[in-house]
Amino acid sequence: MTASTRDTFITFEARETTKDPNYGTAVEENWVKASDAWAEVQDVLPSRAEGLTDDISITRHPARVRIDQMDGVGLTSAMRIRIPADAMWPERVLRIISGPAFVRKTREFEFVAEELSSEGQEP
């Protein structure tokens, strides 16, 4: 564990679900806070991170997120990560695309997450 690299306070959010009164199926609602953690957020260097899909330019901003083992209990890839704004970056919301993976040697969880942006839409 390298506590000195955990310099970003992040929030994990999960979808709140309710039951449809007519059909009894699950209906996804708003995102709600599931957990907080100090994390190391390391942006992946740009490399073919942009593409064209049906004439819409889509840019992906992947990041590697590491948290301590105790902070990772109960987290899943169905959640998303919210990183608050600071002096350098505006607030960021990343969807988890891989993980959590437990790194036994350093006793931490690692996620790969990405922030998406496209022309004509706000990220």
26-51 residue pLDDT tens? 887 889 999 999 999 998 876 654 55
Q: What is the pLDDT of residue 90?
A: 87
36: tokens are 């907080």
97-117 residue pLDDT tens? 987 888 888 888 899 999 866
Q: What is the pLDDT of residue 119?
A: 46
Mean pLDDT of the chain: 80
Classify domain 3-118 by CATH number: 2.40.10.270
For the whole model, what pTM was predicted? 0.75
Q: What is the pLDDT of residue 113?
A: 92
Q: How many angstroms separate the CA atoms of 48 and 112, rounded? A: 17
